[in-house]
Amino acid sequence: MDFLAAGTLAGFAAQGAAVHYLILTDGSRGSADTSADSAELVKMRAAEQTAAQEAVGAASSRFLNYTDGQLEVTMDLKRDIVKVIRELKPDVVITFDPSLLYYAPRKFINHPDHRAAGQATLDAVFPLARDHLSFPELFEQGYEPYKVKTVLLSNFEKQDFYVDITAHIDDKVAALAAHASQMPDMASTEAMIRDMAAKNGAKMGAQYAEGFVRIDCMK
């Protein structure tokens, strides 16, 4: 999420919004280091995400700790997301666009965890968080139904909404640098994200921007 939306999140936080990350997987598998230990990776990735959260001024990071690389669109996962939505009552939910399978221009195949996260989150937003008879046990525990107003989907290829992040591009770089175990060549990563942000910025007349597919949900 920091790769695609940290500038937007930093901007939200700077305007006084409470920004919360919900991390679905535990980061235990994504390493090219053959000597890496899964348990240590989990601790490391949580610490890195917390540091990234601080870089953008977010209020919290929550971890569901589903096994990395094995995320599936299950009712259990949807219930966990619904619970957080009903608790936090967010105005805006940002997630991955599950329709993005790959993006050939950047030689990119979208991780199956990203697709599963996006689909489960969309399902949680609508209709599951809205309907009290969906997961009645949550309703009985005091988690009232809630309708999310806006969803922003991260998608390299399809974008119809842009956020000026010129004032927060350095915050985005700092957030990504916090993920040191996944960014072995931060100089190349920074060059790439600045290039992407500049191309998005040109579409809206800004120096740097992040692009999304925007869904304003029906009332």
Q: Are 9 and 61 in contact (CB under 8 A)?
A: no
Query: pLDDT tens-digit profile of 171-206?
Result: 999 999 999 998 889 999 999 999 999 999 999 999
56, pLDDT greater than 80: yes
pLDDT reported for residue 156: 83
DSSP code of 69? T
pLDDT at 215 exceeding the cut of 80: yes
Q: Which pLDDT belongs to residue 211? A: 97
Backbone angles phi, psi at 49, to 5 degrees: -65, -35
Return the percentage of the chain with pLDDT > 70, whole number: 100
pTM of the model: 0.95
Check pLDDT > 80 for residue 132: yes
Per-residue pLDDT at 94: 98
- Written as six digits, the tokens of 69 are 């690389």
Q: What is the mean pLDDT of the chain?
A: 95
What local confidence, expressed as pLDDT, does residue 213 receive? 98
* Answer CATH for 2-216 from 3.40.390.10, 3.40.50.10320, 3.30.930.10, 3.40.309.10: 3.40.50.10320
Q: In degrees, to the nearest 5, what angle opens at C-alpha 86 toward C-alphas 82 and 92?
A: 90
